[in-house]
Structure 1
Amino acid sequence: MDRQVRIVCLASGSGTNFQALLDADLTPGQIIGLVSDNPNAKALKRAQDANVPTRVVPMGEFATRDAWNEGLIETVEELNPDLVVLAGFMRILAPAFVSRFITINIHPALLPSFPGAHGARDALAYGVKITGCTVHLVDAGVDTGPIIEQAAVPVLSDDTPSTLQARIQQEEHRLYPTVIKDWCNGAYAITTDSGRSRVIRLI
């Protein structure tokens, strides 16, 4: 594939996964924009330092959540992405968004176990010996989209939520750029079987 794949990232906070993507060779993928719901997100500074255009769509500037969803869709559409990549974006996307854009996320647990905002904490509380991270397509649910790739991280006897989260993040920073580059090179396809979507690896 020799055509550039236009990537727009969405982030709400510090943007460590966004930085990992900036630092990686995603060819033929190229990050052409960052959109945030948080005007104070550190990810915005990371984008500016890398000369990546930024947009901010704060929830508080819209009368309703539906209006914010429409504003987010319009903002992302202006950037004309081929792929949307979530990098710590802390809002649930509307069905209209995920039906409009192919959207990929990374979650700090081995889905379908421990969905939601506290994957490391929940894994510790449950007492599992292995957790990890999952790259998946985003659908209208919460961390319910088809799984693309996963990586395992052992849970140590003296782990706290913060130490476990830090080791999961290290694995995220390795796995996420690899999957995004492979996706941009046509390594995956979305198929539908009995009404359910899944992702298969082609190469």
Structure 2
Amino acid sequence: MRLGILGSGSGSNMQAILDAIDAGTLDAEIVLVLSDRPDAYILERARERGIATGLIDCRGFRTKFPDEAQAETAKALQQAGVDLICLAGFLRLVKQPLLEAFPNRILNIHPALLPAFPGLDAWVQALEAGVSETGCTVHYVDAGMDTGPAILQAKVPVLPDDTPESLHARIQEQEHRIYPEAIRLVQESLSTAS
């Protein structure tokens, strides 16, 4: 399975996917990594592995993902022969035409047990809400914010002395564990459907 990764940050979830591929527990290949930030470390990680990279031109918008940019992104992913798109810390909302080009083939990982705490800084939201547990969710991307069907979740207890940083670090450990597993599950469902 040929994977395309969209990321805005350090790329630790992409690294977890690469580690699973290297370990032979995920039969896939990352063929293209795209970022909306030229200085995102995810691009450096990809280049170190010889993976093709590219920049998404969001026309100067800080958070919006303009239709033209989405169309260009879809085209680049299609030209690379991508089967499945994995969002890895990508901080823009995916809409049409990207959803149209890859129906039910875009995954995201979110640092909360959806449907609780959608949106940014979910671990801070969890701490502020005083919940006893949170976690992470791999889900299909639809036109809403973190509203697509869940594929896999992992729970993380919220400890009395947790800071946003300590809680986020424990959530990320689980993200790195379940993202490759969720990709495997999607891969199996796609191969049985075809």
TM-score after normalising by structure 2: 0.89
Tell whether the 8 Å contact from 1:182 to 1:188 is kept in structure 2 after alignment: no
Tell me the residue number matched to 1:69: 70
Deviation string 1:5-29 (CA, Å, 9 cap, x unpaired) is: 1111111111110111111125432
Change in 2 beyond 3 A, CA 1:71/1:167: same
Distance across 1 between alignment mates of 2:27 and 2:184 = 7
Tell whether the 8 Å contact from 1:24 to 1:177 is kept in structure 2 after alignment: yes
Indicate the SS of the match to 2:151: strand
Structure 1 letter corresponding to 2:2: R
Are 2:133 and 1:130 equivalent residues in the alignment? yes
Distance across 2 between alignment mates of 1:137 and 1:188 = 17
Are 2:19 and 1:23 equivalent residues in the alignment? yes
Change in 2 beyond 3 A, CA 1:104/1:189: farther
Are 2:168 and 1:165 equivalent residues in the alignment? yes
* Mean Cα deviation higher: 46-55 or 27-36: 27-36
Describe how 1:1-203 pairs up with structure 2 within 5 A: 5-25=1-21, 27-60=26-59, 65-101=66-102, 102-186=105-189
Q: Which has the higher strand share?
A: 1
Tell whether the 8 Å contact from 2:5 to 2:32 is kept in structure 1 after alignment: yes
Could you tell me how far 1:31 is from its partner in structure 2? 1.1
Tell whether the 8 Å contact from 2:26 to 2:180 is kept in structure 1 after alignment: no
Indicate the SS of the match to 2:30: strand
Change in 2 beyond 3 A, CA 1:114/1:8: same
Tell whether the 8 Å contact from 2:4 to 2:32 is kept in structure 1 after alignment: yes
Indicate the SS of the match to 1:133: strand
Distance across 2 between alignment mates of 1:180 and 1:95 = 22
TM-score after normalising by structure 1: 0.85
Structure 1 letter corresponding to 2:130: G
Distance across 1 between alignment mates of 2:184 and 2:40 = 25
User: Once superposed, what is the RMSD of the aligned Cα atoms?
Assistant: 2.0
Identity, in percent, stands at 44
Structure 2 letter corresponding to 1:86: L
Indicate the SS of the match to 1:95: coil
Tell whether the 8 Å contact from 1:28 to 1:185 is kept in structure 2 after alignment: no
Unaligned residue ranges in structure 2 (runs of 5+): none
Could you tell me how far 1:67 is from its partner in structure 2? 2.0
Structure 1 letter corresponding to 2:95: A
Distance across 2 between alignment mates of 1:17 and 1:136 = 14
Distance across 2 between alignment mates of 1:163 and 1:86 = 23
Deviation string 1:56-81 (CA, Å, 9 cap, x unpaired) is: 1131369x922222222222222121
